Amino acid sequence: MQADTSNTPVLEVRGLTKSFGAVQALSGADLVCPRGEVTALVGDNGAGKSTLIRCITGVHPFDEGEIHFNGEPIRLASPTEARARGIETVYQDLALIEDLTVWQNMFLNREIKRGFGPFRLLDRRRMIADSQTRLKRLLVNMPPVRARVRRLSGGQRQSIAIGRAASWGSTLVIMDEPTAALGVRERESVEQLIGRLRSDNIAQLIISHDLEQVMRVADTVWIMRRGATIAHWRVADVSRERIVAAITGADGGDARASAANDRATVVE
């Protein structure tokens, strides 16, 4: 029996640093993602948010610092290793393949096969049925699983991308700007999905530029500036104005943030 894992955060990041040549993208990033909570990460373009996520999920190796997953120190070498641990990521440029169907995207790199040896075949029927069951549990307006992704609206696609991550991500789902390209109704349906995952006790880490959304869906907000996480609050205890001031440095900054290198903000 595993003791006490319920109070151990799913993810804990301490003092992460990462340079790309002369660019110090991370200069001391911390983060805690508890089970059943939505953790928001906010900051200006170029602050290092995507880099932090990519270091967590094994896309980039990091230089210094520690990452603990369910209390255990880890250093993932690839996103495949992250997936094997139940960490799923919806990257900023979403990764559905337009020419494939919904169910084919659901089972991309996870194909179910049947038969033996050289006669193994893709088990289409099972993957179609399984996609249907998995997505139906998560999505309100579910597109047909046999539909090609190119025929779906932006919101449907984003829902499938998140639904896929949520369906396989048993412990932590990370989303980089999940609703940036969506209309109001589509955004609402993604936010409903976030709420559902939250009640399923999954930890979620969400990067968002939309502070109204952060106030609506997140439990905790972490502010990133110039590669460092400079502050964090329970959303219930902070105003939108205070968050904006921290993002821009209008609050006078913090010793660590001011000491960070003077690199100009880079637009994505």
- The CA radius of gyration of the chain, in Å to the nearest whole number, is 19
**Which of residues 122 and 181 has its CB atom nearest to Mg ion in the complex?**
181
50 binds Mg ion (CB under 5 A): yes
226 binds ligand ADP (CB under 6 A): no
**CB 39, min distance to ligand ADP, A:** 15
- Please choose which of Mg ion, ligand ADP, none residue 48 contacts, taking the beta carbon within 5 to 8 angstroms, the exact cut-off set by kind: ligand ADP
**Which of residues 47 and 172 has its CB atom nearest to ligand ADP in the complex?**
47
- Please choose which of ligand ADP, Mg ion, none residue 43 contacts, taking the beta carbon within 5 to 8 angstroms, the exact cut-off set by kind: ligand ADP
The alpha-helical segments, DSSP class H, found in 200-239 are: 211-217
CA-to-CA dists, residue 38 to 34, 94, 237, angstroms: 8, 20, 15
Q: Any residues with CB less than 8 A from the CB of 108 and at least 6 apart, and which?
A: 97, 100
**CB 241, min distance to ligand ADP, A:** 21
- Confirm if 241 and 208 have CB atoms less than 8 A apart: no
**CB 60, min distance to ligand ADP, A:** 7
51 binds ligand ADP (CB under 6 A): yes
- Nearest CA to 208 among 65, 87, 96, 90? 90
- Nearest CA to 88 among 56, 111, 113, 112? 56
- Please choose which of ligand ADP, Mg ion, none residue 200 contacts, taking the beta carbon within 5 to 8 angstroms, the exact cut-off set by kind: none
Tell me the window of 4-12, 40-48, 64-72, 237-245 that interacts with ligand ADP (CB under 6 A). 40-48
**CB 263, min distance to ligand ADP, A:** 6
- Confirm if 250 and 258 have CB atoms less than 8 A apart: no
The C-alpha atoms of residue 158 and residue 149 are separated, in whole angstroms, by 10
Tell me phi and psi for residue 111, to 5 degrees: -55, 140
Tell me the window of 41-49, 119-127, 183-191, 210-218 that interacts with ligand ADP (CB under 6 A). 41-49
Tell me the window of 46-54, 94-102, 163-171, 231-239 that interacts with Mg ion (CB under 5 A). 46-54
- Nearest CA to 265 among 224, 232, 221? 224
Which residues in the 5-34 window bind Mg ion by CB under 5 A? none
Q: Any residues with CB less than 8 A from the CB of 125 and at least 6 apart, and which?
A: none
Selected binder of ligand ADP within 48, 58, 155, 178 (CB under 6 A): 48
Interface with ligand ADP (CB under 6 A): 20, 23, 25, 43, 45-51, 266, 268
Interface with Mg ion (CB under 5 A): 50
